Structure formats: structure tokens, C-alpha cells
Amino acid sequence: MIQEIFPHRFDNHYLADNEIREKDYILHYNGNSLLLKANGNEFEIPQRKDFPEINNQTESTFLFTLNDTSCFLVWDDLKESNSLFVYREINFFRTISQHEIAWISVVGFHLRNWYTEHKFCGKCGARTISKNDERAMVCPECHTLFFPKISPAIIVAIICKDKILLARNTNFRGGWFSLIAGYVEVGETLEETVRREVKEEIGIDIKNIRYYKSQPWPLSESIMVGFIAEADDNQTIIIDNKEIVEAKWFTRGNLPDHSSTISIAGELIEKFEKGEL
């Protein structure tokens, strides 16, 4: 999955008052795009040394480290004087072969969005400031603390003997299927969310729910919690026609286009295909 970048090392431990050094990585976003440095058919994350204009007055935020090298979010506009600089829409992470770049790009995107959304206190409206000893924004007026938002969501592989139930979301391109997924609501357990989402979206009952594994998914600021469940394939599938426009059972060797194994959905589907579920 996308976060599995060994032998590279990712560490999100927050380092306060960390000055940008020459070889530190710079993540600079323009809307939904990230500034990268082209290197043949591959990419590099730019470094501080690539931007002479970065100085002690540059607005920046420490993010995390990659291979013990600090990564900074730079808010100020940067001069793209180097002809190798290119902006890539964030979905480039789905196809890039350098998984460590894909991973820090989407985690940085998650944090950039969170910082942008918490410039002001949601309680009193005052401008917030960064807390100096942990990753949090604090209101200097009412002292409310804001921590990075992570929303729990479930995703479930529903199987029946040699079949798996896959669905097509309204946002998917034609012919593309995946697993049933959805966000946990207030007061729900994860297992209750699995049952509710399946019933709401495709109208069937499931049983033997069991935990698989989890995956952080920065694009939706969520933690995806994977499950496997069983269902009787004689049940009538009733799609909600809101989030889901098509759902049906598929057998091994006849699966439709689906997610790659960078996602927990793709990993579960591939495990089914190999007879491992």
C-alpha cells in the first residue's frame, strides 16, 4: 500500500523551531498541484538549495522527515527559475514509481489543507498561531487547541464462496469498481458502520464481519479501516442511486477494472483474486 515505502523511512514526529537547511526538502503546493523537479522519467522533491530566495523571513512549516531529512511546507511564492521544475496534480501519486515521493506528497497535502482550514479559531474567530511544542494550532484569545483532523472510515470486502461483491461509485469512470466504503458517524462502532453502509448503499445484510487492517488515506483526511464480511448472494441488491450506481458479484478471473494495491481496496481485491480471502 502507498504508505509502505521500505527501505525509505518516514517519521511524522513534530520538530519545533526547525530551521530549513540546504538539503531539506521543500513541498510547495499550488491549489491541488505540487512543485516537483523532473529527473528524466522520474521526479525529485526540490531542496532548499534549489531556491535562493528562501531565507529566514520565508513563511514555512515543518512537516515530517524522510530518511532523516526534514520536509518543510513553504507558503510563499517560489520562483520556478529552474527549467526542470514542474507542477503535477496531486493524483500523480497513483502512478509514480517512487513510492516515497508519492507518500510524502499526499501527507503533505493533507497537512497543507488542515493548516489552511485552521488559520482562524472556530470558537471565537481570532487568528490562530502554531503551538511551539506539538503539531497543533492554538487560539491566543480563548486558548482552544486544534489538532490535525483524521476521520475514521470503513471499507469492506464482501464475499460469498468464490465471489466478491464490487460496486461502482457515481464518481468512478465507466467500468471501474471497488469495495463498499463510508465514514463512521457519531456514536457508531466500526462494525455498526460496516453494516449500515452496506445496507444503505446496496441493500443487503452481511455476517461474520472481521477486521483486516487499516491504512491512512490523506486525500480524504481519513484512516481507512478494512474489514472482510460474508453475505448470501441470493439476496436482492438494491443500489441507493446516490453514491452507488451499480453493484454486482464477480468471480475470480473475471474482475473488472479496480484500484491498484496502493490502496487497501486494491489489496483486498487482489487477495480475493489470489484465493487468500
Q: Is residue 69 part of a domain?
A: yes
Q: Is residue 5 part of a domain?
A: no
Q: Is residue 2 part of a domain?
A: no
pTM score: 0.91
The CA distance from 76 to 74, in Å, is 6
171 and 240 inside one domain: yes
66 and 171 inside one domain: no
Domain at 142, CATH number: 2.20.70
The CA distance from 1 to 175, in Å, is 23
140 and 195 inside one domain: no
Place of cell 488542515: 114
pLDDT per residue, tens digit, the chain (277 aa), is 999 999 999 999 998 877 899 999 999 999 999 999 988 888 999 999 999 999 888 999 999 999 999 999 999 998 766 778 999 999 999 989 999 999 999 999 999 999 999 999 999 999 999 998 999 999 999 999 999 999 999 999 999 999 999 999 988 888 899 999 999 999 999 999 999 999 999 999 999 999 999 999 999 999 999 999 999 999 999 999 888 999 999 999 999 999 889 999 999 999 999 999 8
Dihedral angle over CA of 72, 73, 77, 81, nearest 10:
50
24 and 88 inside one domain: yes
The CA distance from 217 to 213, in Å, is 13
Domain at 185, CATH number: 3.90.79.10
235 and 126 inside one domain: no
Q: Would you state the pLDDT for residue 81?
A: 65
Report the Cα–Cα distance between both ends of the chain, in Å, rounded: 17
Q: Is residue 34 part of a domain?
A: yes
User: Which contiguous run of DSSP H or E holds residue 108?
Assistant: helix 99-117
133 and 182 inside one domain: no
DSSP 135: S
The CA distance from 63 to 135, in Å, is 9
Q: Is residue 3 part of a domain?
A: no
Q: Is residue 100 part of a domain?
A: yes
51 and 74 inside one domain: yes
The CA distance from 269 to 226, in Å, is 12
Q: Would you state the pLDDT for residue 7?
A: 96
Q: Would you state the pLDDT for residue 78?
A: 87
Tally of domains in the chain: 3
Place of cell 441470493: 234
Asked whether 28 and 74 are in contact (CB, 8 A), the reply is yes
Last residue of a domain, which of 57, 90, 108? 108
128 and 167 inside one domain: no
Last residue of a domain, which of 148, 166, 198? 148
Range of the domain at 75: 10-108
81 and 24 inside one domain: yes
Q: Is residue 210 part of a domain?
A: yes
The CA distance from 199 to 158, in Å, is 12
Dihedral angle over CA of 17, 21, 25, 26, nearest 10:
70
Asked whether 117 and 130 are in contact (CB, 8 A), the reply is no
Q: Would you state the pLDDT for residue 18?
A: 78
